[in-house]
Homo-oligomer: A and B are copies of this chain.
Amino acid sequence: MAKKKTKAETAESMARNQREISVSEFFLKNRHLLGFDSPRKALLTAVKEAVDNSLDACEEAGILPEISVEIEQLAESRFMVRIVDNGPGILRAQIPKIFAKLLYGSKFHRLRMSRGQQGIGISAAGMYGQLTTGNATTILSKTKGHKLAHRMRVQIDTRTNKPTILEDEQEEWQPVFFPVNADGKEGHAVKYAHGTCVSIEMEASYIRGRLSVDEYVKQCAIVNPHLQIYYRVTLLKDKGGEEETHAVPWTTFFRVVKEVPDPANEIKPHPHGVELGLLMQMLKDTSARTLKSALSHDFSRVSDRAAQEICERAGLNPKARPTRIAHEESEALFKAVNSTKLMRPPTDCLSPIGEEQIIAGLKKEIEADFYTAVTRPPTVYRGNPFQIEVGVAYAKPGENPELIADEPVRVMRFANRVPLLYMAGACAMTKAVSGVNWKAYGMSQPKGSLPIGPLVVMVHMASVWVPFTSESKEAVAHYPEIVKELTFGLQECGRRLSVYLSKRKRLAEAERKRSYIEQYIPHLALGLKEVLDLSDRQEKVVVKKLEGMLEKTHLEL
């Protein structure tokens, strides 16, 4: 076939081809950016986005979260994912936009710690289901005070990034799953007063292991000790030949903490993290009538006195109209803001897990001999408050089959209480763990790599804005302030670990000596008996005395 020559374009012909690209078209074509690049990862991402939303909603409403995650294989590469929560429910008018419109939500525009932040995730999961199976996302939601639940089926019109509603009914709110009692026996059906159930059918594949939904659910339970989570995977092979499904039992991860974490507060931006262009925008948009009041009302940590000082430094009238300043004197103001000393941003916008609860979470899911945890004081990167927490669990070699003594330690990464499984290599957290000198704490460590040993290192970053390296939120970007805090937290845990390890080493040494001597006491006694010509009784007394001596020495070690 002869190659057709494309006609040379002109400015006019090119203009005719220019058009707007909707954000849904963009992400449909770039779905690997959202975590939907492989069938295996797609399954995890969908579960994660739904659970994140459920947890956020429960906590904001002050409800102790109870969530079920159900995965059912429908055909070789097709799965149904269903997540049910006891959250506050969603108003009918919001359902289509929340589940079938990218970039829609309540968390993006505020400065407050939450799992979701972008308003993309759950709609992206639905869009992926739609792309691979043609089917819609089904939502069932009941809010407090309403008798009936809403059932809706929605899809994204990817051309316009707008929801299409395929079904919109009211129906009885059903008890949706059958949890297990604390004694392990099957419990009664629970009917929550309110909640949401979302079901997405998608092309996927289910594989166990470190990057699986199983692992995600387990880690989720560790880092959210107030969460009760029910989990069930039904594969084709589990199903009977008949239509009815053999009931695969639910796995329950029980809560160990009975209180909802303190809700995080929303904060205003700190002036030192605000760029010039943003400062101008804020002055244009403010409802304050003077520059001084705009400074003290729209920002955090700007007292009246500080606002006055900033105006003076900038040579500006505190009573000037903010809009005028935005246009004419913003640079002077920007410099004055940045040269004025202000208190660091408030940190009640963060809700760390806490040392005690980290240890409780680790103990619940990881069998080990030594546990410790550190919650670092809050600090700031680019104006955003954040806080690092580190926990470690050390198993005696051979004690926990999942922690192998001559393999690299297991790093569990979390951001705002969400487990991060993929892209470990690209994450600041992994880098920080490899960067610490673990040899100083009694661990072996190849140069520049993760240390070796039966150790779990759990790292958590809580922030009003976690800087992820991609929309799929799998790895934390390498901000130096963050790496520094991570390092401090890891070192503190390392020091405590080293105390434990050297004690253990000393004990093991003593134990070794003791057992060595113990072996020889009878022979020694026998020898003494012959040399000193002792009676059997006397020999027994000697053995007892020697053992007593040994016991005493051992205690002193």
A residues contacting B by CB (< 8 A) are 1, 3-6, 8-12, 14-15, 17-23, 25-26, 29-30, 32-33, 37, 57, 60-62, 88-91, 93-94, 97-98, 101, 103-106, 108-110, 118-119, 130-134, 143-144, 158, 194, 262-266, 275-278, 280-281, 330-331, 346, 348, 425-426, 465, 467, 469-471, 477
Specify which chain B residues have a CB less than 8 angstroms from the CB of A4 in the assembled complex: 265, 348
Please determine whether A277 and B3 come into contact, CB atoms closer than 8 angstroms: no
Specify which chain B residues have a CB less than 8 angstroms from the CB of A94 in the assembled complex: 15, 18
Please determine whether B18 and A106 come into contact, CB atoms closer than 8 angstroms: yes
Please determine whether A18 and B105 come into contact, CB atoms closer than 8 angstroms: yes
Please determine whether B118 and A21 come into contact, CB atoms closer than 8 angstroms: yes
Please determine whether B19 and A104 come into contact, CB atoms closer than 8 angstroms: yes
- The listed residue (B6, B62, B276) touching A8 by CB distance below 8 A is B62
- The listed residue (B6, B93, B103, B133) touching A265 by CB distance below 8 A is B6
Please determine whether A12 and B91 come into contact, CB atoms closer than 8 angstroms: yes
Given A11-B143, A22-B103, A144-B11, A471 and B33 touching (CB < 8 A)? yes
One complex includes copies of this chain to the number of: 2
Closest B residue to A9 by CB, please name it: B60
Please determine whether A108 and B25 come into contact, CB atoms closer than 8 angstroms: yes
Given A131-B275, A134-B276, A263-B8, A98 and B330 touching (CB < 8 A)? no
Please determine whether A132 and B277 come into contact, CB atoms closer than 8 angstroms: yes
Specify which chain B residues have a CB less than 8 angstroms from the CB of A11 in the assembled complex: 61, 88-91, 143-144, 194
Please determine whether B6 and A134 come into contact, CB atoms closer than 8 angstroms: no
Specify which chain B residues have a CB less than 8 angstroms from the CB of A132 in the assembled complex: 275-277
Closest B residue to A426 by CB, please name it: B426
Beyond A132-B277, A134-B280, 4 extra complex contacts between A and B, CB < 8 Å = A6-B265, A11-B91, A32-B467, A134-B331
Given A6-B264, A144-B10, A467-B32, A103 and B134 touching (CB < 8 A)? no
CA distance A119 to B19 in the complex (A): 9
Q: With a 10 A CB-CB cut-off, give which of A4, A62, A101, A346 has the most chain B CB atoms.
A: A62
Given A23-B23, A60-B9, A15 and B276 touching (CB < 8 A)? no
Please determine whether A266 and B470 come into contact, CB atoms closer than 8 angstroms: no
CA distance A32 to B479 in the complex (A): 11
Please determine whether B276 and A26 come into contact, CB atoms closer than 8 angstroms: no
Closest B residue to A117 by CB, please name it: B29
CA distance A91 to B469 in the complex (A): 36
Shortest CB-to-CB span from A134 to chain B, Å, is 5
Please determine whether A9 and B61 come into contact, CB atoms closer than 8 angstroms: yes
Shortest CB-to-CB span from A52 to chain B, Å, is 15
Specify which chain B residues have a CB less than 8 angstroms from the CB of A118 in the assembled complex: 21, 26
- The listed residue (B15, B61, B106, B470) touching A17 by CB distance below 8 A is B106
Q: With a 10 A CB-CB cut-off, give which of A25, A26, A62, A134 has the most chain B CB atoms.
A: A134
Specify which chain B residues have a CB less than 8 angstroms from the CB of A93 in the assembled complex: 15
Closest B residue to A37 by CB, please name it: B477
Please determine whether B14 and A108 come into contact, CB atoms closer than 8 angstroms: no
Please determine whether A10 and B106 come into contact, CB atoms closer than 8 angstroms: no
CA distance A3 to B261 in the complex (A): 14
Closest B residue to A8 by CB, please name it: B62
Could you list 25 A-B pairs, sorted by A, with CB under 8 Å? A6-B264, A6-B265, A8-B61, A10-B61, A11-B143, A11-B144, A12-B143, A14-B61, A17-B110, A18-B97, A18-B105, A19-B104, A20-B101, A20-B103, A21-B119, A23-B23, A25-B108, A33-B471, A37-B477, A131-B277, A132-B276, A134-B280, A158-B281, A425-B425, A469-B470
